[in-house]
Chains A and B, each alone.
Chain A
Amino acid sequence: MSTAQPASAGTAASGQAMIELRGVHKWYGQFHVLRDIDLTVQAGERIVICGPSGSGKSTMIRCINRLEEHQRGQIIVDGVELTSDVKHIEKVRSEVGMVFQHFNLFPHLTVLENCALAPMWVRRIPRKDAEAAAMKYLERVRIPEQAKKYPGQLSGGQQQRVAIARSLCMNPKVMLFDEPTSALDPEMIKEVLDVMVGLAETGMTMLCVTHEMGFAKTVANRVIFMDFGEIVEENEPHAFFTNPRHDRTKLFLSQILHH
């Protein structure tokens, strides 16, 4: 559980934080789902976000790549503020990769085509180069032999690893994970977590919403607990798990750490 930051990861612009959320509020209609969120993430940090369902954890990270819009406050990613300006949004999205709970692979394309699609069409990289780079990432997630198969022919764990490779092909500076292992059978969770740990070791900035506390203990620099739309507690993993300060945190930990 180190806090050292290897230089091979993308770095933020001149000492700025990689991600900043300042006074962010969001409403779904009348429902106040995010309440005054303040969060700063440095380049290379790995943050695990946990909390009961409905606490706004997924909503918060989805605001970071503008899959959800915040109504108040500022979100700044690598120096670019997220507003309704389409150019800013596209810039942020090309630097931020996301891995979803339900994988969301494109079923009509092969694994290789899934990974090469965005580099070819967003960064205009020629097909051969995009596919070569995609094969490298598929080797990194340890499924190069599946390149010509369709997502429907893969297991859940394999699909999620393809999803991770697909996001990595765009060389993002930040990777967001929205409960990446929640839809997987237990025997497949480990293979995906191993890939994520490997990714953390390269110095990637990662924000991970998960219930896998083992992963948090291994890899995270900070653990954040959210409840009812606010950040209740935030601490480095050891202190967080052994000495939680708020009652709500204690209650949540007692509920999830007992199996």
Chain B
Amino acid sequence: MARLERHPELPPPITEVGVLGWLRHNLFSSPANAALTLVALYVIYLTVPPLVDWALLKADWTGTTRADCKSGGACWAFVGVWFNQFIYRFYPVAEQWRVDLAFGLLVVLVVPLFVERFRWKGWLGAFIVVVYPAIAFYLFLGGAFGLTYVETSKWGGLMLTLIISAVGMVAALPLGIVLALGRRSTTMPVVRALCVVFIEFWRGVPLITVLFMSSVMLPLFLPEGVNFDKLLRALIGVTLFEAAYMAEVVRGGMQGIAKGQYEAADSLGLSFPKKMALVVLPQALKLVIPGIVNTFIALFKDTSLVLIIGLFDLLGAIQAAVKDAEWPQVVTEGYVFAAALFWIFCFAMSRYSQKLERRLGTGHKR
């Protein structure tokens, strides 16, 4: 038997494509799945409308005192009144433009990194990591060239959260890479042992004890009169802590690189640093972008622990606000706002990491 004419090209059945197709394959593909879909729809019906009602429809958006929130919905007026404190905490209002300038400058510097055709991304990146921190630090602290001095104990709110997270991320990644390389060393056993001890020590203690010890116990060990700035102690503690986690993430990435890559680099005559910088680390870091971003997101949220040493980051500011006598019973609004703000930042980091993976993935196909 032989077919003489080609079968005509037909469109697929209506239940296979488009919206119906999607519904059928994703939500109703089997009896169990259909049942789960119905249960999920019911749960959504029970929870989402009341939430939307409380948070958006019945909420009070304007006002200056608690009495203005009469409707029984969320009292966002509270957030409006306290907003400045949430962002800057005790930073003098007259000097807040300096903080705005510093963050604005960062945004302006970072935007070209997202433009495809911009050719000096390497230089710009180096500038952002090396020179910008000095500029920003000067803007925050002041004390010279006409800017009044604002001591670090006055820094607080979202600004402080961002500062601690940014410093932690930028410092922990290179340190983590160095530790990972040290831990994998086969030719320098002393270096390897030191790296192992460092990593296992800092991973073994909770961040809260690190911060607590840096604030309370460190002064006992220092000679009289020598006093580290409290914020600096927190930054060092957070950096060392996160570097240990980052080291293990990077080491995992390096283990995922085929041995042949190392051998090819060796056979071309690349020395160890060049082999790592040009061949192994670009691939290893790309491989563990999910792990690195995970660590960064955790770091961003861990910064709230600085409350224990008397630094008031975003969460600290919100906690102080909900205890304010002028605003009774706004605890829910305060923490919902805190959660929403944290979620926005963490989600933004997560989305960016996915975009980064997609963009870098083009070169990585085997």
Q: Identify which of residues 14-29 in chain A touch chain B, using a CB-to-CB cut-off of 8 Å.
A: none
Q: Which residue of B lies closest to A176 (CB)?
A: B267
Is B363 part of the contact surface with A, judged by Cβ < 8 Å?
Answer: yes
Q: B274: CB under 8 A from chain A?
A: yes
Cβ of A107 within 8 Å of any chain B Cβ, yes or no, is yes
What CA separation (Å) do A90 and B282 show in the bound complex?
23
A80 to B310, CA, bound (A): 64
| Chain B residues within an 8 Å CB radius of A67 | 263, 266-267
Given the complex, which residues of B lie within 8 Å of A107, measured CB to CB?
Answer: 283, 363-366
* CB of B61 to closest CB in A, whole Å: 50
CA A66 to CA B274, docked complex, whole Å:
18
Q: Let me know if A215 is at the binding interface, CB within 8 A.
A: no
Known A117-B278, A170-B269: A106·B366 in contact at CB below 8 Å: no
In the complex, the chain B residue whose C-beta lies closest to that of A93 is B269
Given A97-B268, A117-B278: 20 more A-B contacts, CB < 8 Å: A65-B266, A93-B267, A93-B269, A98-B263, A100-B264, A104-B258, A105-B264, A107-B283, A107-B365, A108-B363, A108-B364, A110-B363, A118-B269, A121-B270, A122-B268, A150-B362, A150-B363, A152-B363, A152-B365, A166-B268
Report B-chain residues with C-beta under 8 Å of the C-beta of A167.
Answer: 267-268
Q: Which residues in window 221-274 of B have CB below 8 A to A? A: 258, 260-261, 263-271, 274
Any B CB within 8 A of the CB of A224: no
Contact count A vs B, C-beta below 8 Å: 74
B156 to chain A, nearest CB (A): 42
- B interface majority secondary structure: helix
CB nearest to B366 among chain A residues: A152
* Those of A202-235 within 8 Å (CB) of chain B: none
Q: Among A96, A105, A110, which residue has its beta carbon within 8 angstroms of that of B267?
A: A96
Q: Count of B residues near A, CB < 8 Å?
A: 23
Q: Shortest beta-carbon distance, B339 to chain A, in Å?
A: 38
Enumerate chain A residues within 8 angstroms of B267, measured Cβ to Cβ: 65, 67, 93, 96-98, 167
Which chain B residues numbered 287 to 318 have a C-beta less than 8 Å away from chain A?
none
Rounded to whole angstroms, the CA-CA distance of A106 and B283 in the bound complex is 9
* Inter-chain contacts of B286 with A (CB < 8 A): 108
How long is the Cα–Cα vector from A104 to B269 in the complex, in angstroms? Answer: 15
**Cα distance A102–B258 in the bound complex, in angstroms:** 11
Contact call B279/A93, Cβ cutoff below 8 A: no
Query: Is A74's beta carbon under 8 Å from chain B?
Result: no
B311-366 residues at the A interface, CB under 8 angstroms? 362-366
A55 to B355, CA, bound (A): 49
Q: Does A3 contact B (CB under 8 A)?
A: no
Within 8 A of B (CB), among A158-202: 166-167, 170
Q: For the complex, give the distance between the alpha carbons of A66 and B266 in Å.
A: 9
Are the C-beta atoms of B366 and A93 separated by less than 8 Å? no
The reply to whether the CB of A83 lies closer than 8 angstroms to some CB of chain B is no
A109 touches B (CB below 8 Å):
yes
Q: Enumerate chain A residues within 8 angstroms of B365, measured Cβ to Cβ.
A: 107, 150, 152-153
Is A5 an interface residue when CB atoms closer than 8 A count as contact?
no
Which residues, 129 to 175 on A, are CB-close (under 8 Å) to B?
Answer: 150, 152-153, 166-167, 170
Q: How far is the CB of A39 from chain B (nearest CB, A)?
A: 19
Whether B363 contacts A100 by the Cβ 8 Å rule is no
Nearest neighbor of A94 in chain B, beta-carbon distance: B269
Give, as a whole number of angstroms, the nearest-CB distance from B50 to chain A. 50
Measured between alpha carbons, how far is A42 from B260 in the docked complex, in Å? Answer: 29
B279 touches A106 (CB 8 A): yes
Report the bound CA distance from A116 to B21 in whole Å: 50
> Which residues from chain B contact A94 at a C-beta distance below 8 Å?
269
**Are A90 and B362 within 8 A (Cβ)?**
no
A98 to B266, CA, bound (A): 10
Alpha-carbon distance between A150 and B264 when the two chains are bound, in angstroms: 17
| B268 contacts across to A, CB distance below 8 A | 93, 97, 117-118, 122, 166-167, 170
A109 B266 Cβ-Cβ under 8 A = no
Q: For B275, give the chain A residue with the smallest CB separation.
A: A121
- The residues of B that contact A102 with a CB separation of less than 8 Å are 260
- B266 near A152: Cβ-Cβ < 8 Å: no
Closest CB in chain B relative to A119 CB, distance in Å: 9
Known: A109-B363, A150-B365, A152-B366. A100 touches B270 (CB 8 A): no
- Give the residues from 75 to 121 in chain A that come closer than 8 angstroms, CB to CB, to chain B: 90, 93-94, 96-98, 100, 102, 104-110, 117-118, 121
In the bound complex, residues from chain B placing their C-beta under 8 Å from that of A90 are 269, 271
Q: Which of A100, A108, A170 contacts B282 (CB 8 A)?
A: A108
A161 → B minimal CB distance (Å): 15
Chain A: CB-nearest residue to B360? A108
List the A residue with the shortest CB-CB distance to B283: A108
